[in-house]
Structure 1
Amino acid sequence: MNVLTYDKYTTLARRLVIIILIITGPSIIRAQENVLYTNISLKFTNTSISNILKSITRETGYYFTYDTDLIEPERLTTIWIENQPVKDILDTIFHDMLLKYSIIDNHIIIYQSLTEFTPLIREEGREPVYYLSGIITDAANGQPLPYATIGIKSKGKGTISNYEGEFNLNLTKDFIDDTLIVSYLGFYNRNILVKHAINSYFNISLTRMYVPIPEVIIRNREARELIRNAKEKIPENYGRAAAQMTAFYRESVSKRSKLLQYSEAVLELYKSPYSATIYKDQARIYKSRKINNLDQSDTLTFKLRSGLDGCLFLDGVKNTFDFLKAESFEDYNYRMTDIINIGDEAAFVIEFEQKEALKDIALPEGSIYINTSNYGIHGVEFEINKDYIDKLDRSFIQQRAKGYSVKVRSAKYRINYRYINNRYYLSHVRGDLEFYARKKNRLFGSTYNIFFEMVITGIDTVNVRRFAREERAPLHSIFSETIKSYDSEFWGTDNFVRPEESIKEALYRIDARLGEYRSNNFQ
């Protein structure tokens, strides 16, 4: 297909989208105004509120978002109503609770009207802090969506959901009138007013999006060409100026289901420009803590070296992954497999894999997500080729315990960027490593899992400074060994990644002194 024909298809696609919006826009608005006054009939006896709300969803096509602590979804109730407005039905279910309902897109937000918001944390001399928390799920099946991006619209404040879809976000009063945006690969964005979610635990469901772009366009975009375009646009898309960032970092070592070590920190980052510069990225540890769970039965343990440096290095747009370099194109097979939605933007999905002829090395294989309009790289997911990963044992394992055979089984990585005010910023980095260790002359061994993760929770492009030598974190050290104590007040007002249930349960068991920690942070 020549360029002129391609331009015709892309122009036609854009025109179709505009026409569809113009035609359906007013009807959507009318539907939003009328859905609460749409008459339906319900007959339920001794049924949970969550099932009643699901029935209303089936009748109206509108999903519900609410604080589970506020409405008690498993509470049983009986309701027999014939041909009554949805709003009246909701008022009947939640009588005397002074609840309000707001319509955003095809969602009914249930919230409690508060004239004054109670801050989560109020300390003398410090600005009050309010919290938002909840779980991000797939509207189609209720499954949690891990690593969803939760942020304030057009601002650098944000976090991600954990592996189980849960999140926490602490905000000051300045953000109460802002809008919370939740985004996930291949799903429509969700917008929620912060004041409707303050001090609540929300179940936020996202609807999958299918991008109706002609198949002929997908087939005729050469993957290497898209990567070249993305690299050329890096200075424009990622900025020529440095940025100051706040970040949350964590790492852990587990043996089977037993958590052996867990460390976390709040960091300040100096992110140098993405254009050519003599300056390197820097990190300063604002505060940190660790918890050890080793006992006499743990004759072998793993320690992660250079976790902080690994997170900064995995900014592959800045440090240019091998599979993004033109000189390495001949080592990989590339193909564009799809176009998906990321937030309000469409993105090409480019899959890459090691060529079969290369059998002496282990290379990455995975997916690259490139914006279809500005060629910004939204994210990268990859793992080291499992067929040859054993060739990297020496690269992953620096010091071996005598009498043990240790093999690396898998190494997976994901890197995401967030688009704010016409510029992409590093948003989330995670690495997951799996090892198998067996004592010599033993038939069976044990599996060890290591993960390290960093999420950017704040971005400042005005007050930017490099750190003095004595302030800088030792990026290449064993991070857990630089921490001397446990701090029960660690999180305080800072944003963090909500721990998964497996980690929370392990923390419960580790030390009886965590009682205060549990009651303060996990209720």
Structure 2
Amino acid sequence: MRNPKTFLNGYTRTLLLIFSMLFIAAESFAFQPADIKYVEYKGEVVNARNGRPISSAYLALNNSNISTITNSDGEFSLKVPEDLIEATVTISVLGFQSKTLPLTYFKGQGTRIELEETVEELTEVNLYKATNPRLLVEEMLAKKDENYLSDQSLMTSFYRETIKKGWSNVSLSEAVVKIFKSPYNSPRKDLVSIYKARKSTDYDKLDTVAVKLKGGPFNTLYLDMMKYTEYVLRPEMVDSYEFTFDDPTKINDRFTYVVDFKELDESDPWYYGKLFIDAETSTLVKADYSLNVDDRNAAAKMFVKKKPGGAKVYPVELNYQVDYAQDDGKWHYAYGKAQMDYVVNWKRKIFNSRYKINSEMVVTDWQEYVSEDWKKSVDLINPNIVMVDDVSGFYDAEFWGSNNIIEPEKSIQNAIDKIKRKMKDE
């Protein structure tokens, strides 16, 4: 059997950060949307008990493929074709009871949605009869072809990449992308085209280091564990992990097992986290996991390919999340998020520079796609792409048209406004 670490290293190489003083530009590619009028609804999702915002809450327009997700402030923006006024929207998130509301409940601004915490005590009787976490994971992997999309599809997604230095926002990249999603039972890789992209960066705050996230949208797309099982949970790699049951929970009002997993070999950076597995169908519906990078030298060799002279660069924290959505009994990738903290230690400086890089992508629409013509009509991006540095778009209020995006956090929006004013003054 091949060494599992070989596969893990191959995966992490797709999430490389490049530190250099060179800036690389890429084009944004045209993709014409249908001529449909949309209505935009904005608001927030909060905890009914204490009013605190709920991040990563999933809003799905029922009987359609339209969806979006709340930002870290619990805010959302949902754009719906104006002829779907009779529709309903389901709001769901881990740890809260799902809620379905008519679209007439939503307003252009100020929609407030309160979710109740899940307080039901779950027992083994409720959760059927699974008693061995490893056998449950093996069953989850064996049922991939049965539980996930077996047809190719064309997905519209929103991708965001932010860089903070300390507490300051210094860079924001956003893109609407088209994903040619191959079936889960196919070895073919997914293909990606950028429809629209924009970026603002305050290079003064980056000192002499330009932080580059290599991979762009692929960073979050490759978090799809059930499509890319060879990277983390390949069936032959099950022996490389320890599995234990955690307290069960409910997701989308369905009983869900929670399985903790940890890689046994800790000689290199190693994975650990939680798998949320639907109790009835043995489907992976969510995963939260991390890469332990306590060994700084090993982590630096794995992740840092270029750096300025006189500086030590190494990651200190890497966290990942992937969520799946269900449609007609089949599940598919819905949301991916990667959070990475890096330290730059300059030889002649007293204080280190700490960077936090967040990238996330949410599928906002999808449709079955039989034809292969789409690939001939667009420019596909390379998995090694570095997000654009010089793309227009922040001045244009209509730039994003009818596409659903993640509502900007207040701090990010303030950073954009500041950068725009600075650029305008120049």
TM-score bracket for the superposition, by shorter chain length: 0.7 to 0.9
Change (3 A) 1:188 1:372: same
Distance of 2:244 and 2:343 partners within structure 1 = 33
Distance of 1:225 and 1:295 partners within structure 2 = 53
Q: Which residue of 1 aligns with 2:282?
A: 375
- Aligned match of 2:112 in 192, 196, 203? 203
1:424 aligns with 2:334: no
Number of equivalenced pairs: 387
1:329 offset after TM fit, Å?
2.7
Distance of 1:220 and 1:235 partners within structure 2 = 21
Q: Which residue of 1 aligns with 2:57?
A: 148
- Aligned match of 2:291 in 359, 369, 384? 384
Q: Which residue of 2 aligns with 1:300?
A: 209
1:403 aligns with 2:310: yes
1:426 offset after TM fit, Å?
0.9
Residue range with higher mean Cα deviation, 380-389 or 285-294: 380-389
Q: Which residue of 1 aligns with 2:382?
A: 474
Change (3 A) 1:462 1:253: same
Asked if the contact 1:253/1:303 (under 8 Å) is kept, the reply is no
1:335 offset after TM fit, Å?
0.8
Change (3 A) 1:280 1:323: closer
1:178 aligns with 2:87: yes
After TM superposition, list the pairs within 5 Å mapping 1:205-220 onto structure 2: 205-215=114-124
- Aligned match of 1:231 in 106, 116, 141? 141
Q: Which residue of 1 aligns with 2:157?
A: 247
Superposed CA offset, 1:190-236 (max 9, x none): 11101221424211111112344335777962111111111121111
Distance of 2:205 and 2:103 partners within structure 1 = 49
Structure 2 segments unaligned to the other structure (5+ residues): 1-33
Q: Which residue of 2 aligns with 1:66?
A: none
Asked if the contact 2:43/2:109 (under 8 Å) is kept, the reply is yes
Change (3 A) 1:237 1:220: closer
Change (3 A) 1:390 1:371: farther
Asked if the contact 1:291/1:486 (under 8 Å) is kept, the reply is no
Distance of 1:495 and 1:485 partners within structure 2 = 19
Q: Which residue of 1 aligns with 2:4?
A: none
Q: Secondary structure at the match of 2:49?
A: coil
1:514 offset after TM fit, Å?
8.6
1:427 offset after TM fit, Å?
0.7
1:394 aligns with 2:301: yes
Structure 2 letter corresponding to 1:340: T
Asked if the contact 2:141/2:235 (under 8 Å) is kept, the reply is no
- Aligned match of 1:132 in 35, 41, 44? 41
Asked if the contact 1:247/1:267 (under 8 Å) is kept, the reply is yes
Q: Secondary structure at the match of 1:426?
A: strand
Q: Which residue of 2 aligns with 1:290?
A: 199
Structure 2 letter corresponding to 1:249: Y
Q: Which residue of 2 aligns with 1:50?
A: none
Higher share of residues assigned helix: 1
Superposed CA offset, 1:285-341 (max 9, x none): 111111121128712221111122222211111001655234323332211112211
Q: Which residue of 1 aligns with 2:25?
A: none
Distance of 1:295 and 1:187 partners within structure 2 = 42
Which one scores higher on RCO, CA 8 angstroms, separation ≥ 6? 2
1:134 offset after TM fit, Å?
1.1
- Aligned match of 1:271 in 181, 199, 211? 181
Q: Secondary structure at the match of 1:310?
A: helix
Q: Which residue of 1 aligns with 2:357?
A: 450
Asked if the contact 2:299/2:314 (under 8 Å) is kept, the reply is no
- Aligned match of 1:281 in 176, 190, 194? 190
Question: If the length of structure 1 is used for normalisation, what is the TM-score?
Answer: 0.70
1:128 offset after TM fit, Å?
2.4
Distance of 1:290 and 1:275 partners within structure 2 = 36
Q: Secondary structure at the match of 1:416?
A: strand
1:259 aligns with 2:169: yes
Structure 2 letter corresponding to 1:352: F
Change (3 A) 1:148 1:336: same
After TM superposition, list the pairs within 5 Å mapping 1:80-95 onto structure 2: none
Distance of 2:340 and 2:205 partners within structure 1 = 24
Q: Which residue of 1 aligns with 2:27?
A: none
Distance of 2:316 and 2:205 partners within structure 1 = 26
1:491 aligns with 2:400: yes
Distance of 2:242 and 2:163 partners within structure 1 = 34
Structure 1 segments unaligned to the other structure (5+ residues): 1-124, 516-523
Superposed CA offset, 1:447-496 (max 9, x none): 10111111100011156544128621233121124x53344332222110
Change (3 A) 1:514 1:444: closer
Q: Secondary structure at the match of 1:468?
A: helix
Q: Which residue of 2 aligns with 1:328?
A: 237
Q: Which residue of 2 aligns with 1:503?
A: 412
Distance of 1:290 and 1:314 partners within structure 2 = 23
- Aligned match of 1:222 in 132, 154, 163? 132
Q: Secondary structure at the match of 2:197?
A: strand
Q: Percent identity?
A: 26
Distance of 2:225 and 2:55 partners within structure 1 = 21
Asked if the contact 1:340/1:346 (under 8 Å) is kept, the reply is yes
Q: Secondary structure at the match of 1:499?
A: coil
Superposed CA offset, 1:5-48 (max 9, x none): xxxxxxxxxxxxxxxxxxxxxxxxxxxxxxxxxxxxxxxxxxxx
Residue range with higher mean Cα deviation, 381-390 or 257-266: 381-390
1:392 offset after TM fit, Å?
1.8
Q: Secondary structure at the match of 1:175?
A: coil
Structure 1 letter corresponding to 2:180: Y
Distance of 1:286 and 1:464 partners within structure 2 = 19
Rg comparison, structure with higher value: 1
